[in-house]
């Protein structure tokens, strides 16, 4: 799943941008990127998948704690992409890649 490894690597962009303003969010974004890349390089059920889900959900919660109400509008883009990727149709990889891109945009916007 190399396209998803690449889109997971994009989470490093907001991590880099936040490194001076908000070290906690920067660390969360970097951790999410590395854990997600590790999972998507060979997606199999097990500890890597469980860790990816836990870290991603934690990062989502952390960003929503820090987010201002105007930041929540990114959810209108993130949630449909996530939902479509969960349906496991023939285009689920594209939808999940779009989900990663929308999450990256949301991470950048929440500082």
**Alpha-carbon distance 85 to 49, whole Å?**
16
**Alpha-carbon distance 7 to 4, whole Å?**
5
pLDDT digits (tens, 9 = 90+) for 28-63: 999 999 999 999 999 999 999 999 999 999 999 999
- For residue 59, what pLDDT is reported? 95
- For residue 66, what pLDDT is reported? 86
Q: Which whole number is the average pLDDT over 87-109? A: 93
**Alpha-carbon distance 82 to 75, whole Å?**
10
Q: Which whole number is the average pLDDT over 2-15? A: 97
**Alpha-carbon distance 40 to 53, whole Å?**
12
Domain ranges across the chain:
2-109
What is the rounded (10 degree) CA torsion for 76, 82, 87, 93? 130
pLDDT over threshold 80, residue 71? no
Residue among 36, 41, 39 at smallest CA distance from 103: 36
Average model confidence (pLDDT) across the chain: 93
Give percent above pLDDT 90 in the chain.
Answer: 79
Confidence class for position 75, pLDDT limits 50, 70, 90:
confident
Q: Is 3 within 8 Å of 93 (Cβ atoms)?
A: yes
């Amino acid at each position: 799943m190399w396209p998803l490894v690449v889109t997971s690597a994009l989470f490093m962009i907001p991590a880099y941008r936040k490194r001076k303003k908000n070290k906690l969010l920067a660390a969360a974004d970097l951790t999410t990127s590395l854990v997600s890349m590790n999972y998507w390089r060979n997606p199999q059920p097990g500890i890597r998948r469980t860790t990816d889900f836990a870290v991603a959900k934690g990062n989502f919660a952390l960003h929503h704690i820090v987010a201002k109400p105007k930041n929540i509008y990114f959810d209108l883009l993130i949630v449909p992409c996530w939902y479509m990727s969960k349906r496991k149709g023939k285009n689920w990889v594209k939808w999940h890649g779009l989900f990663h891109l929308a999450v990256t945009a949301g991470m950048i916007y929440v500082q």
